[in-house]
């Protein structure tokens, strides 16, 4: 090859490279990191983490059901199809916008610890923490009562109609989707010692793969009994007695009264205003107000000028998160047992006071308490909006994956392990007490503007949830991303903050960063003193529906970190 040929070859090579760079973008419209377009419809919409369950919600809407009917049907299906994250052995929280009364309603359907379980028992056993698995972390499942409370107040269709799709799938079977099958396999290996778990979730000793058909006739029977006899079948009838009998056999502390006395609680959602939008969360025993505390602090800072996911932007979010999570560790607990300074925690003056701890140039290594192991957690989130403008933001969970790993005889579901989040430190507001609800991580959210709902959304994933809520909201309200882009954008997750059940922050904790955050940003964060790491998971799972009342349309999003989708009609 002569000199001229070499020069011509190099010219062609650079032209081709330039052409590829110029014309081979991942997307024609929107941000390059977006995984897909938003879903747009005008009669109704469902967004959740499993497509077959989302379709069930649409079918319920088409039958004349409303958003609450559809949400219950979807949740029932998810308990079958995604038991790695939720089920009727777990708890439920919801925020509902009712188009008739034009009001927001909050439901706390989390259950208390057994009345016979005391702190003295753990001291006698020499335990420093409530274990994650087995019978000790059990708390009364609130999910089923939550369904019936929602249905009694807002539902239209009979519960038999609402639960029939989940019952049919439980009898006939469904194919496992990709991410769910991954977590399913992990859990089957983890819970080798629990015989009922293995019989149910590894039928015939088989480790189920993506696409394998799973049937759960035991759950079908349980759901059919609930559909026929109502919530009392679960809390005062055959199901409660079966759980208590199983508890007695395996060393648990459940008594019949724990179930018979249970009642979900309607609560008033709390709000913080950010950029003219009111962001609504539920009060403790959940962690939702951490979102409001963070927003109250961040609105005193010009976040947009920093640039999205710049080092200064991420540093600011991380440091504010650290400060708020110290309050979360100290103050968030069951308000039936302790009086919490909520008014102070959510005041503008308190936000400014706590912001004094923020150093724009250096990462905090520790944070003092003010006077005024939660990183794990698998959860489902769903949101539904119907043709009349009713909106449901609902989140439900077993806590750690399949929960405690323990399946009561013949019922087809795991009992949750939410009690693992109690502190065993005497004097702590979240200390374990008989009949007390533990600190909770799962939080639904709703956004209103001028008194009307505009955005129903949630981000799953234990302690990631408040961090995820804030990141999604800022992506929309500061950086004008659409709701699909807002969920797909690369995220950070900070771990190591003080926890409501144990420990304090050590050496500033660890910041995990998703792919898509530049090497220069990582370098700058290191220079500010952050401990940086990368991981493939743990950044939550998001779904959302934007309500555009002016144009009469609904805009849905479901990110690629989960198996789900948004479906409209």
Q: pLDDT band for position 8 (50/70/90)? A: very low
Going from the C-alpha of 562 to that of each of 70, 76, 192, 227, 485, the distances in angstroms are 20, 18, 26, 29, 15
Which pLDDT tens digit goes with each residue over 39-52?
Answer: 999 999 999 999 99
Q: pLDDT band for position 26 (50/70/90)? A: low
Which pLDDT tens digit goes with each residue over 165-187?
Answer: 999 999 999 999 999 999 999 99
User: What are 45's strand-pairing partners?
Assistant: 385, 568
Helix intervals (H) in 310-452: 311-331, 342-345, 348-355
- What residues have CB less than 8 Å from 12, skipping those under 6 apart? none
Dihedral class, residue 377 (left if φ above 0, else alpha if ψ from -120 to 50, else beta):
left
Rounded mean pLDDT, 218-230 = 98
Tokens of 412: 């087809």
- Contact criterion met (CB below 8 Å) for 378 and 395: no
Q: How would you list the strands of the sheet with 565-568, edge to edge?
A: 265-267, 103-109, 91-98, 391-399, 378-385, 45-48, 565-568
Least confident of 213-222, 470-479, 491-500, 516-525: 491-500
pLDDT of residue 20 exceeding 80, the answer is no
Which pLDDT tens digit goes with each residue over 449-462?
Answer: 999 999 999 999 88
Q: What is the pLDDT of residue 408?
A: 98
pLDDT of residue 18 exceeding 50, the answer is no
Q: Which of 218, 250, 252, 267 is nearest to 139 (CA)?
A: 252
Distance (Å, whole) CA 415 – CA 200: 13
Q: What is the pLDDT of residue 27?
A: 74
Distance (Å, whole) CA 288 – CA 280: 9
Q: What is the pLDDT of residue 536?
A: 78
Q: Which of 427, 429, 310, 412 is nearest to 360 (CA)?
A: 310
Tokens of 561: 């970190």
DSSP 169-185: HHHH-EEPPHHHHHHHH
Q: What is the pLDDT of residue 217?
A: 98
Which pLDDT tens digit goes with each residue over 541-565?
Answer: 999 999 999 999 999 999 999 999 9
Q: What is the pLDDT of residue 378?
A: 66
- Contact criterion met (CB below 8 Å) for 315 and 358: no
Distance (Å, whole) CA 355 – CA 70: 42
Q: Which of 48, 164, 222, 379 does the annotation list as catalytic?
A: 379
Q: How many CA atoms lie within 13 A of 388 on its CB side?
A: 17
Residue keyed to tokens 């778990």: 197
Rounded mean pLDDT, 347-354 = 96
CATH code for the part of the protein at 52-488+540-569: 3.60.20.40
- What residues have CB less than 8 Å from 7, skipping those under 6 apart? none
Rounded mean pLDDT, 88-104 = 98
Residue 77's H or E segment, with its range, is helix 67-81
| pTM summary value | 0.93
Interior CA angle at 484 toward 483 and 488, to 5°?
120
Which pLDDT tens digit goes with each residue over 297-322?
Answer: 999 999 999 999 999 999 999 999 99
Going from the C-alpha of 281 to that of each of 386, 444, 524, the distances in angstroms are 21, 7, 33
Which pLDDT tens digit goes with each residue over 186-210?
Answer: 999 999 999 999 999 999 999 999 9
Which pLDDT tens digit goes with each residue over 30-85?
Answer: 899 999 999 999 999 999 999 999 999 999 999 999 999 999 999 999 999 999 99
Which pLDDT tens digit goes with each residue over 107-153?
Answer: 999 999 999 999 999 999 999 999 999 999 999 999 999 999 999 99
Percent of the chain with pLDDT over 90: 88
Phi, psi of 278, rounded to the nearest 5 degrees: -95, 120
Q: pLDDT band for position 19 (50/70/90)? A: very low
Going from the C-alpha of 6 to that of each of 1, 3, 14, 16, 18, the distances in angstroms are 7, 5, 12, 15, 18
Residue 395's H or E segment, with its range, is strand 391-399
User: What are 397's strand-pairing partners?
Assistant: 91, 379
Rounded mean pLDDT, 371-392 = 79
- What residues have CB less than 8 Å from 519, skipping those under 6 apart? none
Rounded mean pLDDT, 212-231 = 98
The residue extents of the domains of the chain are: 52-488+540-569
- What residues have CB less than 8 Å from 445, skipping those under 6 apart? 95, 279, 280, 281, 288, 291, 393, 456, 457, 458, 469
> How far, rounded to the nearest angstrom, does the alpha carbon of residue 482 sit from its chain's CA centroid?
21
Least confident of 14-18, 96-100, 416-420: 14-18
pLDDT of residue 243 exceeding 80, the answer is yes
Provide the mean pLDDT of the chain: 92
Q: What is the pLDDT of residue 505?
A: 82
Which pLDDT tens digit goes with each residue over 496-510?
Answer: 888 776 667 878 999
Which pLDDT tens digit goes with each residue over 274-284?
Answer: 999 999 999 99
Interior CA angle at 102 toward 97 and 107, to 5°?
35
- Strands 553-558 and 532-534 come out as unpaired
Tokens of 470: 């804030």
- Taken in order 55, 59, 62, 67, the sign of the CA dihedral is negative
pLDDT of residue 394 exceeding 90, the answer is yes
> Helix axis angle, 311-331 relative to 464-477, nearest 10°?
140
Q: What is the pLDDT of residue 192?
A: 94
- What residues have CB less than 8 Å from 356, skipping those under 6 apart? none
Q: What is the pLDDT of residue 502?
A: 62
- Contact criterion met (CB below 8 Å) for 78 and 394: no
Is residue 222 part of the annotated active site? The answer reads no
Distance (Å, whole) CA 112 – CA 138: 9
pLDDT of residue 223 exceeding 90, the answer is yes
């Amino acid at each position: 090859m002569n000199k001229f040929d070499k020069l011509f070859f190099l010219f062609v090579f650079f032209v081709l490279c330039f052409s590829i760079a110029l014309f081979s973008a991942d997307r024609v419209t929107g941000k390059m990191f977006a995984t897909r377009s938003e879903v747009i419809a005008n009669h109704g919409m469902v967004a959740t983490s499993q497509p077959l369950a989302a379709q069930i919600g649409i079918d319920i809407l088409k039958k004349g059901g409303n958003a609450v009917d559809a949400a219950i049907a979807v949740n029932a299906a998810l308990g079958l199809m995604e038991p790695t994250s939720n089920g009727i052995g777990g708890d439920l929280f919801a925020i509902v916008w009712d188009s008739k009364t034009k009001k927001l309603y909050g439901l706390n359907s989390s259950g208390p610890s057994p009345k016979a379980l005391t702190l003295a028992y753990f001291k006698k056993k020499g335990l420093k923490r409530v274990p994650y698995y087995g019978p000790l972390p059990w708390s009364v499942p609130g999910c089923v009562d939550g369904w019936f409370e929602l249905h009694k107040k807002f539902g239209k269709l009979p519960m038999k109609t609402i639960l029939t799709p989940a019952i049919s799938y439980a009898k006939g079977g469904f194919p496992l989707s990709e991410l769910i099958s991954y977590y399913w396999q992990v859990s089957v290996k983890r819970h080798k010692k629990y015989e009922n778990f293995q019989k149910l979730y590894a039928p015939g000793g088989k480790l189920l793969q993506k696409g394998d058909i799973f049937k759960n006739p035991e759950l079908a029977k349980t759901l059919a009994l609930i559909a026929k006899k109502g919530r009392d079948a679960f809390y005062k009838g055959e199901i409660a007695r079966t759980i208590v009998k199983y508890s007695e056999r395996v060393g648990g502390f459940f008594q019949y009264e724990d179930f018979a006395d249970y009642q979900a609680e309607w609560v008033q959602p709390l709000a913080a205003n950010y950029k003219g939008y009111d962001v609504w969360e539920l009060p403790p025993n959940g962690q939702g107000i951490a979102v409001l505390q963070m927003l109250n602090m961040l609105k005193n800072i010009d976040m947009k000028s920093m640039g999205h996911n710049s080092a200064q932007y991420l540093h600011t979010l991380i440091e504010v998160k650290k400060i708020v999570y110290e309050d979360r560790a100290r103050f968030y607990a069951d308000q039936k047992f302790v009086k919490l300074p909520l008014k102070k925690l959510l005041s503008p003056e308190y936000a400014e006071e706590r912001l004094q701890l923020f150093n724009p140039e250096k990462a905090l290594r520790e944070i003092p308490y003010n006077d005024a192991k939660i990183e794990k957690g698998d959860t489902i989130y769903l949101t539904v909006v119907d043709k009349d403008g009713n909106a449901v933001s609902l989140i439900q969970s077993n806590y750690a994956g399949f929960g405690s790993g323990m399946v009561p005889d013949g019922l087809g579901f795991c009992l949750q392990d939410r009690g693992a989040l109690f502190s065993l430190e005497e004097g702590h507001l979240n200390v374990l007490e008989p009949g007390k609800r533990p600190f909770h991580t799962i939080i639904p959210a709703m956004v209103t503007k001028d008194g009307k709902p505009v955005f129903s959304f949630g981000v799953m994933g234990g302690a990631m949830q408040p961090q995820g809520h804030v990141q999604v909201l800022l992506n929309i309200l500061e950086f004008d991303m659409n709701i699909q882009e807002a969920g797909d954008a690369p995220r950070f997750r900070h771990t190591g903050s003080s926890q409501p059940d144990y420990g304090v922050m050590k050496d500033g904790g660890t910041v995990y960063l998703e792919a898509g955050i530049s090497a220069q940003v990582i370098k700058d964060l290191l220079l500010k003193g952050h401990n940086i790491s990368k991981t493939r998971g743990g950044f939550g799972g998001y779904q959302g529906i934007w309500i555009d009342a002016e144009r009469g349309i609904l805009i849905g999003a479901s990110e690629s970190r989960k198996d789900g989708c948004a479906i409209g009609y």
